[in-house]
Amino acid sequence: MRLNAISLLPLAWALGACGGQAPPMTHTVGSVPRHTDGTAKLVFLWAPDSCEVGGYQVIATTDGRFIGTVARGTRLETELAPGIWNLITWNPEKERLGAPPIAERVGVLHADLLDGRTYFARLTFGEWDIHGPRVVYSSDSKRGRYRACIDGDASLVALSPHSSEWSGLTTWLNDLTPVSADREAGQRWLDNQPSLAATHRGLAASRELTMTTRARALVTIVARDGVRMEP
């Protein structure tokens, strides 16, 4: 494992960002503290050039534990116990405004985390259909041929030193506002709506049944994907 693959990241990590506003049940953090002993860190990135521009995403475990929220232009920093985590994400604001919960809008991530390591995942919008990554092109007289957004999809994609997107990680960290979850408030919110986790867990399971082998690999973080951050 290439632990020196992100030697520039500590600078980006400390700088914070000029990105988005903290979503509900989170607060902005000026700098990111070192790991608490005995934990792993998982960072969720929502790039500002995403196709999805509205609302925010809730991240929870499949058994109903609140992890945090993340919005366009932010990165959610969360510490988790080492081990296996099965995570889902959805946009409650879009659903509140009338969009029905559907499998394509529920992101899935499986993560095997080691103590003292940091892991990364990217939220994508308009890049996957229900089966996995898909490229759709459109064209017009002004823009010519361009990559179009696929309507209604959301996904969580694992990032590792071996992934093609790793070279962009430092830029993302510089661009995105770091936020940390208010876990107690978020858990109360989730517990007060017990059907939420169950509904989205079922949709996530349905979506996974349709995924290609490649897509399943992209939504899986393996232990060796973690890196040790420099102080």
Domain that holds residue 159: 9-128+155-223
User: Does 150 reside within a domain?
Assistant: no
**Range in 48-52, 102-106, 167-171 the model is least confident about:** 48-52
Beta bridge partners of 33: none
d(CA 76, CA 128): 22
Q: 111, 85, 69, 105: which is closest to 200 by C-alpha?
A: 105
pTM score, whole prediction: 0.87
User: Does 122 reside within a domain?
Assistant: yes
pLDDT band with cut points at 50, 70 and 90 for residue 4: very low
Is residue 202 predicted with pLDDT exceeding 70? yes
Do 59 and 34 touch, CB atoms closer than 8 A?
A: no
User: Does 138 reside within a domain?
Assistant: no
pLDDT band with cut points at 50, 70 and 90 for residue 149: confident
CB atoms inside a 10 Å sphere around CB 165: 15
CA distances from 42 to 100, 129, 220 (A): 29, 25, 13
User: Does 230 reside within a domain?
Assistant: no
User: Does 142 reside within a domain?
Assistant: no
**Range in 4-8, 108-112, 125-129 the model is least confident about:** 4-8
What is the pLDDT averaged over residues 206-226?
Answer: 96
User: Does 124 reside within a domain?
Assistant: yes
Is residue 34 predicted with pLDDT exceeding 70? no
Q: What is the pLDDT of residue 87?
A: 98
Q: What is the pLDDT of residue 231?
A: 58
The number of folded domains in the chain is: 1
User: Does 135 reside within a domain?
Assistant: no
User: Does 141 reside within a domain?
Assistant: no
